[in-house]
Structure 1
Amino acid sequence: MKGGRSLNLLITGGAGFIGLNFVHYLLKSASHQITVMDSLTYASHPDEIQELTSNPKFRFIKGNIANKNDLNAVMDQQYEAIIHFAAESHVDNSIQNADDFIQTNIVGTYELLQQLKTGAAKKMIHVSTDEVYGTLTPAQDPFTELSPLSPNNPYSATKASSDLLVRAYYETFKLPLMTTRCSNNFGPFQNKEKFIPTIIYSALQNKKIPIYGDGQQIRDWLFVEDHCKAISLILEKGTSGEVYNIGGGNERKNIDLVKRILEIMGKPESLIEYIEDRKGHDRRYAIDSTKLQNKLNWEQTSTFDQSLVKTVEWHMNKFGASI
């Protein structure tokens, strides 16, 4: 987006994994004024946010999107766009207790839509997930934007609910809304509870790496920088009312990915430990990004293995200093 006009943007969840990467992406590639709203949960990066506050193009407001008063405080100006990343996203946590997921993912999205109705922003991008589509068999074609929503765990159910709210507000009120659904992200700043950081962190300490079930589950992996590029294109060129799938086209079995990361790190496969499978564990995700590629000319910037090596090195540097 270099050379484009400067926009005033509100980014919810901008202290989390994907949101923070997007903030860094924009600060490097554009001249936008950026306001981040984040409640600074356990998965956030307050130190990174503190460093960014010295940038005159950036401001941070701590707040919860499900809280009307917090939202009113951040809506002290009109935004060109809201990019809505804020979400509770760890499936295992949602299985244990879905309260926070319902509040943030459903109620929080509703409150943002109510703000959009008052003219708080000229458009909103709602960032969702491929998990709303449910699961695929090995023989089925990847999910498209027309695939039915069929979530199989509390996390994905709350995201599907928020997707339907966004659709309803577009259809009923003709609000300038777009939805994106991405495949599994990986890259810098991801919380160590997630799959790839868990592998790296455990291997660094020579601890057992827990693998659910038989390890044959398949995920489509998307490097977070490519996701940021896609969101930026949708912000610039996307059409209201549309859904855009953002997939990596990098399907890997969980066990194969673990072995590749251990190979990169020079660690033995004997660290792998199979454990009881997760309840409602989806077998395969795969996303068809043809629409995004054809309509907005999106393409990935590096190969999966190049991005994986970069990710492993980043996490090893971060975790290695704290072990």
Structure 2
Amino acid sequence: MKNAKPTILDLIRRARLVRRAFRIDTSAEISENTAEFHERLWPLRSLKPEDDGYFLDIFTPDPFETDPDEIKRQYALETMTLVWFKLQTPDFDEAKMRENAAAYERGVRLTSAEREAHRKRARADAEGLKRDGLLPSERRQYESLSSFEKNRFNFPISTETLEHNAHLTRAKRARFFKDYDEGLLEGGDPNHTQLVRYRTRWRRDHVVSACAMVEDIADWIDAQMALPRNRRDKDLDMLQRRYARDELPETRSVIVTRRESAWLAVAATTAEQVASGSAKHEARPQVAMSALAAFGKYELAKDRAMKSKIWSSAGSRKSRNLLISRFL
């Protein structure tokens, strides 16, 4: 049914999709990861001269073009940009290029299907680099992993930096990297203060949305705990058994939430499977404690937002989350 009420497993599944929001970078990590990502994107930026390189676009032939000569020209231009991209990547295999050149001299030619496969792979590498910062060799390694292993893969760029990059529009991304370059040319810290300030503003909305999903789980747990034991949903016992709540370290931090249901909700959101297909999970204390601290701040911000004059008029969850983020 389209409007069926989500189950607790649905709520956990949704929260786990956004748990990356709790892997929060420090100011130093923001600067370091931006610098590394900026450096890794150079093969894309080098495809175009001057300011156009900041848009990180790859030439794509017009699929509606009908003039044979123009189709041929666009095809050649696409080939040239993709070859240039491969030449500029740090892990370019020069020995393999020489081997292919020697084979060409001997009369060996690729079939049209092989050429198209190489073209698609180069384009996928370029698009992937723009998305997650993986070089082609790193991407081959990542693609060889199982789904379980991919979930534990350590990307060379921080999760928050990748999430922030995905959030940027084409124009904002271009402006972001241009500002960064101009800061470098001035010889100082490349807009470090502005960079951290912008990322922190973006992060607030991101974290509030994730905390709201954790709160849904905590509310469900509280509602179940208020019932007589014989009327509680059996999934409550499953949560307590499966998600390693007891593995989370105790803390006296004043910013960490004291709400026990939130601790269990965070454990369910952040714990990792011990093996593919296993129901057993192990805690991720660092991410979990970051989530609990974020949730503690969320509770305070929500309390302040609810006391504001415009809370009652902010009817949708999205508008209320935006209001909460203003008090975070």
Give the TM bin, normalised by the shorter chain. Answer: under 0.3
Q: Which has the larger helix fraction?
A: 2
TM-score (norm 1): 0.27
TM-score of the pair, normalised by structure 2 = 0.26
Structure of greater relative contact order (alpha carbons < 8 Å, 6+ residues apart): 2
- The structure carrying a bigger strand percent of its residues is 1
Structure of higher CA gyration radius: 2
